[in-house]
Amino acid sequence: MIKKCLGCGVKLQSIDENGLGYIPSDKDYCMRCFKLTHYNNFTKAYYEVNPNIILKKLEHKKGFGIFVLDLVNFNREAFSYYLKIKMPKVLVVNKCDIIPKNISYLKIKEWLRKEFKFEEEIFFVSVKKNIGLNKFRKFIDSITIPIYFLGMTNVGKSSLINKLFNLDKPLTSSILPNTTLDFIKVSKNVYDTIGFPYQAKIDYNLLKKIMINEEIHSINMPLKENAGILIMDIARIITDKKNSITCFFSKKEKIRKIYDNEDVYLDEKPLIIKCPKESNLVIKGIGFCYVKEECLLTIYHLEENLIEIIPSFLGGCYE
């Protein structure tokens, strides 16, 4: 019988010390998980996760899907995976404690149903603040078929499972993506799964530096024509007309207005994107900007696959 790591699900082996799944002796956790748990030493898994393989595995399984997202992973790419899952399912908005207090859960629910045709039940939970867990646990207990926790990478699936089921041997979790490497049988009826990856390559060092672990910080930037904002280490964004842009990122992120005499990132080829009024410019897994007026945005220092423009759930509340 193949033995797998209880933390990440990878096949265990004792031959290649530098390979995934290495254990020096008969252990339950691979060295990668051991170092991550005890020393916060993160080793990236150097192989590509194919989302189609995850979906194909799910096609042959009879069960119930728990699709987990958080606010900074609200985008069409993430929602497309939710819609492709054919088994009965619900959406769980995890880390709800990061949602600014003046954004109501009801407003987000209505937006999801209107813009992305979500018909199933939607739960809001927080492991850190113990929000919504009792209600969600009762729902989980009512399910009699196998349960699969699904979602984008780094939305907190493993941490949520650890909290819900109080595991003696917990799943490995971290602040960075790609911790879980395969399907993991947590109990007789519950499975953790590999997170769906984004097409874009995300800078791991940047993610570690600006990871959101508390309420999202919002900064409103009234801008004149052709004025810009600098989101430090992430992007320079310029609007072609008078506008108001509100940034929603980690409190650790430095955001300021930037002017023509500063050449930061201007040596790079920009993206030019038409943005309808009251839209969110999403930077997947990192944060988003609410753009009040229709405009052309010139964006430097961001990969195109990492950006989306979607209708905003904020409406005019950040004018």
**Among the ranges given (6-15, 72-81, 217-226, 290-299), the one the predictor scored with the smallest mean pLDDT:** 6-15
Is 197 within the bounds of a domain?
no
pLDDT in tens, 154-185: 899 999 999 999 888 888 887 767 788 888 99
Does some domain include residue 87? yes
Return the residue matching tokens 């007309």: 241
Domain total of the chain: 2
Asked whether residue 18 is domain-assigned, the answer is no
Give me the pLDDT at residue 167, please.
84
How far apart CA 299 and CA 210 sit, in angstroms, is 20
> 207-256 pLDDT, tens per residue?
777 778 899 999 999 999 988 999 988 999 999 999 999 999 999 899 99
pLDDT band, residue 318 (cuts 50/70/90):
very low
Q: Which pLDDT score is estimated for 204?
A: 67
User: Per mean pLDDT, which range of 3-12, 46-55, 113-122, 230-239 is the poorest?
Assistant: 46-55
Indicate if 221 and 176 belong to the same structural domain: no
Its pTM surpasses 0.85: yes
| 50 shares a domain with 186 | yes
Alpha helices in 203-271 (DSSP H): 204-210
Whether the CB-CB separation of 20 and 32 falls below 8 Å is answered with yes
H/E stretch holding 114: helix 105-116
Residues spanned by the domain of 166: 31-192
Same structural domain, 223 and 302: yes
